Amino acid sequence: MNTENQPVRPATGADVEAVRAVTDAAYHPYIARIGVVPQPMEADHAANVAAGRVYVTGEPEVVGLVVVEARPDHLFLDSVAVHPDAHGRGVGRTLLHFVDAHARALGLPEVRLYTNALMWENQKIYPRYGYEVVERRVDGPYDRIHYRRRLDVI
């Protein structure tokens, strides 16, 4: 199934278990590599959904999601998760384009995110979507590379 043109919609309470399952499936492979549980796996998914921070894609099953938070000068992209079974189907691209559109709709000039320095796959992906490295910083047990993508706000 091609999921590239699937709509992205706000998650509802009925999606919380799917959000947890997709997040866990997407981030679990990194546990051994980075030596700690990735922060998105420990998030309060129900609270994030209730706060309107989670957007999902995939029908009938959720296959991808983003967790975002509007801040005064940017949209913070807290997590992007695509179920491994849906890799290569354009789900991540759809979600990243949604994030850009969402930030623009909120009148925010940029999107910011970070990724673990040992998640090198992401370091190849984000620059292809216009993200630039801002800094590398250690936050507790996490060695993170911070990115931003400046947007043309209409």
Give the Cα separation of 144 and 122 in Å (integer).
11
What is the rounded end-to-end Cα distance, in angstroms, of the chain? 34
Measuring CA to CA, which residue among 70, 65, 38, 74 is closest to residue 51? 70
Residues 58-70 pLDDT 10s: 989 999 999 999 9
Q: Which residues, in sequence order, are CB contacts of 38 under 8 Å at separation 6+?
A: 27, 30, 31, 116
Q: What confidence score (pLDDT) does residue 59 get?
A: 87
Q: Are 113 and 77 in contact (CB under 8 A)?
A: yes
What integer is the mean pLDDT of 29-57?
96
The confidence score (pLDDT) of residue 5 equals 65
- Specify the pLDDT at position 6: 79
DSSP 5: T
How high does pLDDT run on average in the chain?
93
Residue 31 binned pLDDT confidence (cut-offs 50, 70, 90): very high
The answer to whether residue 140 scores a pLDDT higher than 90 is no
Separation between Cα atoms, residue 128 and residue 94, nearest integer Å = 14
For 95-115, the DSSP string reads HHHHHHHHHHHTT-SEEEEEE
Q: Tell me the pLDDT band of 32, cut-offs 50, 70 and 90.
A: very high
Taking only the tens place, the pLDDT of each residue in 88-124 is: 999 999 999 999 999 999 999 999 999 999 998 989 9
Q: Answer positive or negative: Cα dihedral of 13, 95, 20, 75.
A: negative
